[in-house]
Amino acid sequence: MIGIVGYGTQIPRYRITVEEIAKVWGADAPSYKKGLNLNEKSVPAPDEDSATLAVNAARNALIRANVNSKELGAIYVGSESHPYAVKPTGTIVSEALGCSPHVHTADLEFACKAGTEGMFIALHLVKSGVVNYALGIGADTSQGAPGDALEYSAAAGAAAYVMGRDNLVAELLDTHCYMTDTPDFWRREHAHYPEHGGRFTGEPAYMKHVSGAVKAILDKTGMKPEDFDYMVFHQPNGKFPVQMALKLGFKEPQFKHGLLTPTLGNTYSGSSPLGLAATLDIAQANQTILVISYGSGAGSDAFIFRTTNRLLEVQNLVPKIRTQLDEQKMYIEYGAYTKFRRKILKPE
């Protein structure tokens, strides 16, 4: 039996609203809000980056796991905003957690899917018996070019999962990966902001891969949408996951707890892992959760977890997602936002 031993999250405190961004660009806020089902997004503080978010999420995960960081055999950090182009984030995280030097780390990148890739590898490394505990983290301070549609949604946040064999809070029942070479979103070397294929990111990209992964794992396990208590899809906006879920036969009570985008934005590699964490925050024992990530380029990882009694013991050990999301926020204006996101720079 393998699965999640502990989970933790970190969401920056700062928020910017769709209205505030639209005001600057002369854009139509109501149509963005309606079109994206999005009201506001998180903004990392000037001293926050993917590494700090990953570390804080991991610390919370270790508390819930009740595992000493020295026991971690592997740490995988998935992000599309690793602080360095060359130099691992994993080493920073390992050092900060006190895991080094006897640990395997790797940085992963697969647009918004890198977080669940880390979780996938961590789970299977534990399953293989090579390590007892492995940490999978999705962390991002994602970038949207000024005035681009992505600027309204590109947010920051992280979720971390300690995977192991004993004392599980959720057992892994199955996984599946669905992947093709589909260039819907990319950032070239030296480019500051990513580019995207507009509406091509919808039907042939997100929809195709998410539904492909769902259908495959349902076929593989013989399960049906109604067999799940909860489900979480990658959430690039508030619209795609809802459209897709309803189309595939899921109902709102199954996805509403994990749908964070309307007030969080798209946390990229953190997106579906944070949705899973929000679901674990409210789940009872013996409930079944389907998780489907999506990363441009493009692919989806599917996981089915079943919660255990131990989940109820750890839920309140650290701040839950709704607390971080709803109670600890501070709104900023576009000016502060451009400074925080280094869109304007002070001369040296």
Q: Which chain residues interact with another protein by CB under 8 A?
A: 28, 31, 197-200, 203-204
Nearer to another protein, 22 or 321 (CB): 22
Nearest Cα residue to 1 out of 119, 173, 250: 173
Residue in this structure with the two tokens 């393998």, named with its chain if needed: 2
H or E segment to which residue 214 belongs = helix 208-221
Nearer to another protein, 71 or 148 (CB): 148
Q: Please state the φ and ψ torsions of residue 34, each to the nearest 5 degrees.
A: -75, -45
Q: Choose the catalytic residue: 82, 196, 209, 234.
A: 234
Nearest-angstrom CA–CA distance, 55 and 62: 10
Do 179 and 298 form a contact (C-beta atoms < 8 A)?
A: yes
CB of 28 to another protein, least distance (A): 5
CA distances from 201 to 114, 162, 250, 316 (A): 17, 32, 22, 38
Nearer to another protein, 208 or 320 (CB): 208
Nearer to another protein, 73 or 212 (CB): 212
Structure tokens belonging to residue 343 = 């869109």
CB of 204 to another protein, least distance (A): 4
Q: Choose the catalytic residue: 99, 112, 196, 257.
A: 112
CB of 14 to another protein, least distance (A): 28
Q: What sign does the dihedral 255-231-157-59 (CA atoms) show?
A: positive
Residue in this structure with the two tokens 């067999």, named with its chain if needed: 227
Nearest-angstrom CA–CA distance, 77 and 107: 5
- For β-strands 156-164 and 3-10, DSSP reports them as antiparallel
CB of 153 to another protein, least distance (A): 17
Q: Choose the catalytic residue: 40, 80, 117, 151.
A: 80
Nearest-angstrom CA–CA distance, 7 and 163: 9
Nearest Cα residue to 4 out of 208, 127, 220, 171: 171
Active site residue 80: yes
CB of 194 to another protein, least distance (A): 14
Nearer to another protein, 25 or 200 (CB): 200
Residues labelled as active-site residues: 80, 112, 234
